[in-house]
Structure 1
Amino acid sequence: MVPEHDEPILKHLKDIKVKFSDAGQPMSFVLEFHFEPNEYFTNEVLTKTYRMRSEPDDSGPFSFDGPEIMGCTGCQIDWKKGKNVTLKMIKKKQKHKGRGTVRTVTKTVSNDSFFNFFAPPEVPESGDLDDDSEAILAADFEIGHFLRERIIPRSVLYFTGEAVEDDDDDYDEEGDEADEIIDFLAMLALHCCVALSPVVASVGYSLVAVYGLLTAVDSLAVEHRL
């Protein structure tokens, strides 16, 4: 479910695009989330860059199963004062061990938000991650791959409904990982597709991908949850 504090911000999301990197990294790509001017941050575009390996590793060439995402980098969000929804203030009571007096302290802690998507865990040089970070990155990579390979290239087909039947055939049950991806895409779709149909004929190719999110999510939800 979309956190309530994210809803008014996501209403300003107007476009999602994918851009491919230079010749040196032909398989890497950047997801661009374009926003209207708003009262929450000054960025017009938020980006997520995915780095991919497209060649076998010299140490284990026979284990290569094809291109894979090796890492991702988000971007800095320039939040306006008091508008950062990825942080929240909490109050805690502390009791002095000696005197027994109680005081209230205020702390800033992380808050659940879609916009944490732009601040993924950093992969250390050793490559070792804790279980939580591994789970976050695994879901993150699946989302990036899904948007790049299925939604944006086939956005017009999703809009016309021609791609929905294909998705029903392509996806098997995948458990919790599929649910996480569906929830994420549903979150984007719900807040991007309001009143899109009347203007589809006059907008660019990539904007139709936003509507494609909604129809693709409906298809996946039926396959995985019902």
Structure 2
Amino acid sequence: MAPKRQSPLPPQKKKPRPPPALGPEETSASAGLPKKGEKEQQEAIEHIDEVQNEIDRLNEQASEEILKVEQKYNKLRQPFFQKRSELIAKIPNFWVTTFVNHPQVSALLGEEDEEALHYLTRVEVTEFEDIKSGYRIDFYFDENPYFENKVLSKEFHLNESGDPSSKSTEIKWKSGKDLTKRSSQTQNKASRKRQHEEPESFFTWFTDHSDAGADELGEVIKDDIWPNPLQYYLVPDMDDEEGEGEEDDDDDEEEEGLEDIDEEGDEDEGEEDEDDDEGEEGEVKENLAKPTKITFKEFTMLFWSFIYSVVELTRTDCGKKVSHFVVQELRKCLISTWY
């Protein structure tokens, strides 16, 4: 196909078309008069607002229905929560292990916090009758060297105006055991910058009511840990995993050393085997070079076996291609062997 001829003249620019003449509606709009479609748009916006109000009303109704269902099943779940608490009580250090294995809770735990939580025997989360109004978390402790309380509780409330608030049990610390007020010596070891700050502690949570609406720890315990604490209790200890990993690395290094020794021995044995293989291959070649004659009976049996194989192969498309190749090769073999 011949290439297109290019015109020697430069391309001419198209002249811009003049703008269309304004109609009477547009002329009136440019003069500041209202457009004809503005009234329709305003009416459409008002109708959309009415429809949206109906959607919002249904959403609120759905939320009320969901809360009723949630309250119903909260009551149904209570016997199972009670049974679970009874079983957990048979496992020593269940709750401290669960808290330590949880990434957000463990960030608030110091060594002394963990020691104190070893005396924690039961945790309960109770949502109020109107679950929109709030919930309470109770921590039950055995006799311990840190405080006198048997139960520590923290409640979260949401009043009618929607403002959150919280209140908690006052912890009755034993002399010199207040974990929310560490000694200055401990603070200096931790960080000089925080020398005059109160160090964070799990038990500081019971006295912090500054922002009840953003209480992450309460939400984590209620929504993440309480529904299924077993999943965090069964999380393997990372220190144990690291120790096992180091042992595995040592074992791997030992195995690699043994493999190197075995490879050296295999190389020596391989050289001997190569000499033997060369001798065997020579014998096989000599036997193949010798012509072999067969009887007519043997040829007949071989021929019918061959026919049967071909029939079986031709049942599939792939078999047809293979059988054709086998027929040609076997034919050459039979002719050379018979004659």
TM-score, with structure 1 as normaliser: 0.44
- Which has more radius of gyration? 2
> Which structure's relative contact order is higher, taking Cα pairs within 8 Å and 6+ residues apart?
1
TM-score, with structure 2 as normaliser: 0.31
| Structure with more of its chain in helix, by fraction | 2
